[in-house]
Structures are given as structure tokens and as C-alpha cells.
Chain A
Amino acid sequence: MQTTRVETMVNFPPIDLTTKVEKIDQTKNRNSPPASSQMSRRQLIQKIVFVFFRGAAWVNGVALLIIIYFMVANGWRAITWTFLTQAPRDSMTKGGILPCIVGTLGLSLGAIIVAFPIGIASAIYLNEYARPGRILRLIRLGINNLAGVPSVVFGLFGLAFFCIYLKMGVSLLAGALTLGAMTLPVIIGASEEALKAVPDTYREASLGLGATKLQTIFRVVLPTALPGILTGGILGISRAAGETAPIMFTAAVFFSPRMPSSVFDEIMALPYHIYVLATAGTEIEATRPLQYGTALVLIALVLGLNLAAILWRARLRKRMQ
């Protein structure tokens, strides 16, 4: 105990970690005696093991590329103007996916309208008001557990609560609310991180000028954190757009002859359309191109949103530094 404390006291101020380690590496390599066989054996082992580590990391990239490659290679021919702007015809073996696109957009927008205000307000409480203690721990436990609830359980909950108990039926509204509950943890997490990144000096300056806490939050903290919060919003939309299980029982149907005209209508959605065509359609093999095409549209939508969020965030970080 005593020694640890002494150690911590003589600690040097924190140094940027990666450069430091690299520097040490370089000096070590330069000074190590090349003839020492034991040293070179250890370094050889290190080299071999590091190749494995690097390989593991690149497997992720390869997996992503393979999936995208197969979807693009098999799906791009299906993407035509007709495909994107018409409804399915002939028991879904021909035609387009417009109702599915509209349905998915409606669902994810609805979900974000529900989750965004609640998520930001929760994050404001967690970061600006809450004091550490049992209540805070309980709230965090709730958020973490909500984030871990399986998507199909959200579907069951949506069916029992929104569709049956609140009598919304299978509808866009019920699906959007279910997805909203599911994206809430994503929004809270991203917003909290953005709020944390606002330097305390901003808050102190504002409070020092006589502003109330609320004014400080709305005029100083939130505007500074807004881009980070919006990135979280984009990630939330993309998550909601790609989910299938929560909308299977609450919002999406096999086939709907007309476009949704109100939030109480049942809808078609891209992910569910893929699932239906691939497993339960009348002609599974014949509609393969349609399946690939729908998957490609969904991937383009979701990964596009994510890529935008990632690039935006990278730019923000650079500006912050």
C-alpha cells in the first residue's frame, strides 16, 4: 500500500502512449546485441506471434469485404430505376421494392423521433446532474441491460404492449415505438460521450458569468456537443433500419397492396422483405436477384449512414485536438 502510493506520487505526467511505446521499441532494437541468440529467439517468437495478431485484425476486414463483394456482385444488376420506384408485382416475383424503402425510412425516422429526445435528456441527467451513488449505478445497470435485451424479446414486448395492450395493432407506430425503445441505449451512449468531451472550463465560464445551470446546458454545453450527439443519432437510425426481429410481429407484413397512408397502417420493410423472399416466398430460387438487390439497398443504406457518422466523428476529433 505504502509503496504503491510513493510510486504514484513520483509518476511522471501521462505521456501519449503509443508514441512512447514505439520510441522504446526503437531504442531497444537499436541497442540489442544482434549476436545474442537468446534475444533473437525471443524476438523471433514475438515476430511470429505478432503476425497472428495482425492476421486476426485483418480477418475482420476480409469478412466485411467478402460479404459486401457477394452482395454487390450478385445484386447490382437488380438495381434499376423500376426496382427502386415500383411496388412488387406477380406475388412478389417481379417489380420493385418502393413500399419496403418507404416503410424502412418511416420506421427508422419514427424510432429516432421517439428515442432522440429521451436519449439526450437521459444523457444530460447522467453527465450534468447525477451524483455518483446507488441510484446512478441502478440507472446505468438499466441502460446496460436494455442494450443487451435480444431483439426478438423487443419484438415480443412490442407485440404484447403496443399492439395488443395499447391496441395499436400491427402498425408503423407500434414498430417505430419498439425500435425506439431498442435504439435508446445507443443514443444515450453516444450523447453521453459527446457531453463528456465538452471541457469543464466551458461550464465554469458560463456559470461564472451568472448563467443558471439550465442556461449553461442549453446555450453552452449542448451546442458544443451537438455534432457528437448527431453522430449518435445517425448510428441509431442505421441500427433501427437494419433490425428485423423487433418488427416481425409489430409492424411488418409479408405483402401490402398499397402504400402506408397513416401511422396505423401495416407496412413492408427492407429487412423483413429479404427474409420473406429468401425463406418463405413462392419461388425462392427465381427471386434470388430480387433478394440480392434488396440486401444491397439495405447494406448501402446502413453502411452509408455508418460511414458518414464515422467520417464526421473523425473530423470532429481532429478539430477538437
Chain B
Amino acid sequence: MANTRQIKDRGMNVFFFCIATASITILFMISVFLFMEGLPIFKVVSVKDFIFGSYWYPTSDPPDFGIFPLIIGSVVVTILSASVSIPLGVMSAVYLAEIARVKIREIVKPIVELLAALPSVVIGFFGMVIVAPFLQNVLDIPTGLNIFNASLMLAFMSVPTICSISEDAIYSVPTNLKEASLALGATHLETIVRVVLPASISGISTAIILGMSRAIGETMVVLMVAGGAAMVPASIFDPARPMPASIAAEMAEAPFRGDHYYALFATGIVLFVFIFIFNIIAEHIAHKYRQVGEASL
């Protein structure tokens, strides 16, 4: 009797395990299909020319498939948005976890969550119809649809990610560390800067990397706001064409299984690899420098 129950229990274990592998399976299938549809482009151009070629004219004759300007566009937009979102996100997190009273935290935290929930197309639309004309008038530049605008919009998409993950890290710093610091006569601020932040640095780094990976993969904002010029930008007020924007804008008109189609999938591979590296780094930091109380100081 007990035996059948044991067998049934073992069976359920296997059943749930199989379903739990669905995420990995999907991830695996994504890479398989990206490579399947993307690799044929390398019969036409070499990997080196594809990645470092500085001309992206997929529809001219003969076509040029160099995604270097697109990669630069993605990197520039991501770094610029990170320079806004990292200070903003980490400072918000410190405020929420350390300084704010419970009542205030209960109001501000949902606001951050709602900001994270805003559909990207709405943020892109906002950047296009409100921010772009504003920038154009105030700064007197030819177009408001540029790297600066896109980075600003992206920053507000990655702040919630950075903020909520950092806040968890800061919040889980052991109390006795803080108490020891305060008891030695340090002010609250000195305690935060010298004790709390160093103790939670691994969590905060993970948060920053995940925030940046959200920014580099975000599509609608850069598609609508970055301006769409496929060239290496000279200033932050130039338009750019980051990788996701290029894929989204051109897929509809690329002939099915033509070179352009393959090139767009190959761009997807490059983007996927970028994100994968970001995630591996984040995972590595989180695993290796896991917060284990006093030991991580």
C-alpha cells in the first residue's frame, strides 16, 4: 500500500521536474531558432565584416550588412541611460530601505512598481510626442528624436529594476552591523556609506547589470525615440539606430528567408549574446559574493 503511494509520489516529482525544465527548454529553443535563421547570413558576409562593418544598407544593391553602427548605437544608449538610472535607482533604493518611514515606503514602493509596469510603447510615445519637441525647442537642435532622448526614456525603464533589486539587498544587511556602526558614533549617513553599501554591494551590482540588460534589450523606446539613423553617432544629440530598433523596424519588409531576413536574425543573435553575458555576470556576482552576514564586508 505504502509502496504505491511512494511510487506515485516519485512520479509526481518527475512530473513537476519535467514542467520546471520548460523555461530552459524555451531558452534552448530560442537559441536554436535564432541560430537556424541567422547563421545563413555568414555565407554572404564574414563574421568579422558583419560585426565590424560600418555600413548597414541592407536594401541597396549590392547590400551592405555591417552592424557596427547598430552595436555602437545600442552601447551608447545603454551607457548613457545607465549614467542616469544607476544613481537614481540606487539612491531611491537607499532612501526606501534605510531612510524612509514605513508609511512613506508603502506609498513610494507601489509607485516604483507602477513605473515598471508602464508599457514600453507608451513611454516611447511619450518620448516622441512630448519630450522630443520639448528638447528640440529648448536646446535648438535639428531633431528631438536622438540618443539623449532615448537614453532618458530608457533610464526610467531601468530605474525600477535597479531600485527594487538593490532595495532587497540593502534591506537584508544584518541589523547588528548597523547597530555596531551607530554605537561607535557614526552618523546614519556614515553608516550607510561605509557599512550598509559595502555590505550589499553584490546585490547592488546584480541590480545594475540587470537594469542595463533591460535597457539594451528594450525595443519600442529606441524604435520610436532614437531617430533611426544607422551610422556611428558623433554626439549624444545625433540620432542612432540600436540593434532592437533595427530588427523591429525592418523585419516586416525583409523578404522571407532572404539575406536581409537572415541578417536581422543574426543581429538578434548578437543581442542575445550581449544579454546572455550580462546575465551570466550577474549570476556569477550573486552566487560568488553572496551576502553572508559579516563575512562579506
B-binding residues in A (CB < 8 A): 4, 7-8, 11-12, 14-15, 17-18, 20-22, 24-25, 28, 42-43, 45-46, 49-50, 52-54, 56-61, 63-64, 67, 70-71, 118, 121-122, 124-126, 128-130, 137-139, 141-146, 148-157, 159-161, 165, 181, 184-185, 188, 212-214, 235, 238-239, 241-245, 248-249, 271-272, 274-275, 278-279, 288, 291, 295, 298-299, 302-303, 306-307, 310, 314
Contacts and interface: CB of A to CB of B under 8 A. Distances in A.
Contacts, number: 286
Given A8-B294, A156-B265, A275-B223, 16 more contacts: A21-B98, A45-B187, A59-B88, A60-B160, A137-B287, A144-B279, A148-B210, A150-B244, A153-B275, A154-B30, A157-B30, A242-B117, A242-B119, A248-B252, A278-B128, A306-B113
Contacts of A161: 29, 33
Interface in B238-297: 244, 247-248, 251-252, 264-265, 268, 271-272, 275-276, 278-279, 282-283, 287, 293-295
B16 A129 contact: yes
Determine the main DSSP class of B at the interface with A.
helix
Interface residues of B, number: 99
A249 B126 CA distance: 23
A212 B8 contact: yes
Which residue of A24, A60, A235, A241 has the most chain B CB atoms within 10 A of its CB atom? Answer: A60
Give the top 8 A-B pairs by smallest Cβ distance, nearest first: A150-B217, A242-B119, A142-B24, A56-B91, A125-B16, A125-B20, A46-B189, A121-B19
Which residue of B94, B122, B129, B179 has the most chain A CB atoms within 10 A of its CB atom? Answer: B122
A54 B95 contact: yes
Contact of A57 (B17, B27, B100): B100
Given A53-B95, A242-B117, A298-B119, A20 B24 contact: no
Contacts of B17: 125, 129-130
Given A42-B187, A53-B99, A60 B22 contact: no
B179 A20 contact: yes
A303 to B, nearest CB: 6
B244 A157 contact: no
B118 A165 contact: no
30 contacts: A7-B294, A8-B294, A17-B171, A46-B190, A53-B94, A60-B159, A70-B126, A121-B19, A129-B16, A130-B20, A139-B24, A144-B279, A146-B23, A148-B278, A150-B271, A150-B275, A152-B268, A153-B272, A184-B23, A184-B26, A188-B23, A212-B5, A243-B119, A244-B119, A244-B120, A244-B219, A249-B252, A271-B119, A299-B118, A306-B113
A174 B227 CA distance: 30
B123 interface: yes
A313 B283 CA distance: 28
Interface stretch (B48-56, B60-68, B102-110): B102-110
A146 B26 contact: yes
